[in-house]
Amino acid sequence: MPALPTSPNPDGDPPAALRLGARHNGRSSAVGLGPCAAIQGSQDLYDRPHPGPARPSGTPLRIGDVRLDNRLILAPMAGITDRPFRSLCRRLGAGLAVSEMLVANPAFRGSRKSRERTDHDGEPGPIAMQIAGNDPAWMAEAARISVDLGADLIDINLGCPAKKVCKVAAGAALLRDEPLVGRILAAVVDAVAVPVTLKTRTGWSPETRNLGRIARIAVESGIRLLAVHGRTRACGYGGRAEFDSLRMLRAEIDLPLVANGDIDSPERAQWALRHTGADAVMIGRGARGRPWLFREIGHYLATGERLPAPAPAWVCATLLDHLDALYGFYGTARGLRIARKHIGWYLHAQWPDAGAQGDTLLARINRAETTEQQTELVRSLFAGRPALEDAA
């Protein structure tokens, strides 16, 4: 089996002269950065100086009175970080797994999606629930409900770039209204006794970065940890995440800081920690199809050595356990459908160069009409019976 793909790709941080706008009112002073595609450099950032050694991932991290076993966090991702995936990532080395965002609007309260997103039955603690919305009172009530349902931490979404979220002035859209951000943060912090954290981006666009001011609002409001995705909302997931913004922020605030964005390998995690001085890393898309990435990163940060790539039989068993959990959580009909995207991510991680043959095989698995057929096709693939070359 080919080695698991990694893509540190550490290029792309903006110039060191980037200004966070932390000491200015109005528009951010981050000017002249151009479109997201231009935020790419050729310098190898592994060679850049950094504040010091990365904090050991295995050392505990405290968020208020909540203690994490390590400094590796699964990012909240809508449609992905459900209970089965969170539980799997925790088992494979994540110190915290944040839930999919819960919409604070009371009109959605009690919906099937909301019930599933607040279902943490059997999960190891601490439990972190993310909430999203643009009304301080709704957000405060959503936080109280989440705590009643078992949340040990409340995370506020200030970074989702999705159009359906931003068009209702939630998620990253709030970055354009700093006074409203302050009211929301204060309302949520005042509403609950558990620590409140914030996940954000560096700004609405490259021309209007305001991470410094958002961070100061967070500190003043009582936020206990700040996670930053190194892109603006306008950048979406294009280009490469930049971390100079976090490095500059680290010099200005003492709030626990988490680096997020394109952390898809042990080397990239180590570099992000060293370059930014962050207290932890948050991993999102890099864990899709590779939930054991947390274990690999933890081992690398502790020893400086990579773990061997997991054996195909172990990967197969992990995937089958994941599928079984999805079937149990969603029921067989929905579980069968939801499992398809996860199977695709696992197969891409194992055979990244499969190309059209891999697509053909995946299409064959996706045509399975029962969970039994789906799991048998997965078993057969890893056992080598329908080899990739036979799928064409």
Do 199 and 227 fall into the same domain? yes
Task: Please check whether residues 281 and 321 belong to one and the same domain.
Answer: no
316 and 298 inside one domain: no
Question: Considering Cα of 351, then 357, then 359, then 364, what sign does the dihedral take?
Answer: negative
Residues 134, 109, single domain; the answer is yes
Query: Could you tell me the CATH number of the domain that includes residue 47?
Result: 3.20.20.70
- What's the structural domain count of the chain? 2
Which of these three, 303, 338, 353, is where a domain ends? 303
Q: Which tens digits make up the pLDDT trace of 202-212?
A: 888 778 888 99
Residue where one domain finishes, among candidates 303, 330, 359: 303
> Is residue 281 helix, strand or coil?
strand
CB atoms closer than 10 angstroms to residue 24 = 13
DSSP character at residue 392 = -
Give the mean pLDDT of 331-351. 95
In this structure, what are the phi and psi dihedrals at residue 281, rounded to the nearest 5 degrees? -120, 150
Instruction: Say if 5 falls within a structural domain.
Output: no
What number is the average pLDDT over the span 133-138?
Answer: 94
Based on the domain organization, do 229 and 325 belong to the same domain? no
Instruction: Indicate the residue type of 114.
Output: S
Which of 26-30, 166-170, 205-209, 362-366 shows the highest mean pLDDT? 362-366
Task: Spell 71-96 as b/e; 16+ CB within 10 A means b.
Answer: bbbbbbbbebbbbbbbbbbbbbbbbb
Same domain flag for 134 and 278: yes
Query: Which residue, of 303, 333, 349, is where some domain finishes?
Result: 303
Q: Are residues 40 and 168 in the same domain?
A: yes
pLDDT (tens digit per residue) in 90-112: 999 999 999 999 999 898 888 89
Residue 241, domain extent: 36-303
Say whether both 292 and 167 belong to one domain: yes
Confidence of residue 308 (pLDDT cuts 50, 70, 90): very high
For residue 307, pLDDT beyond 70: yes
Q: Is 24 inside a domain boundary?
A: no
Q: Does 183 share its domain with 219?
A: yes
For 259-273, write each residue's pLDDT tens digit: 999 999 999 999 999
Same domain, yes or no, for 89 and 197?
A: yes
Average pLDDT over residues 44-69: 66
Domain identity same for 131 and 82: yes
| 152: nearest Cα among 98, 198, 102, 109 | 98
- Rounded to an integer, the average pLDDT of 186-206 is 93
| Residues annotated as catalytic (active site), given as ranges | 160
pTM of the model: 0.83
pLDDT at 163 over 70: no
What's the chain's average pLDDT? 83
Rounded average pLDDT over 17-40: 35
The verdict on residue 7 lying in a domain is no
Same domain, 129 and 85: yes
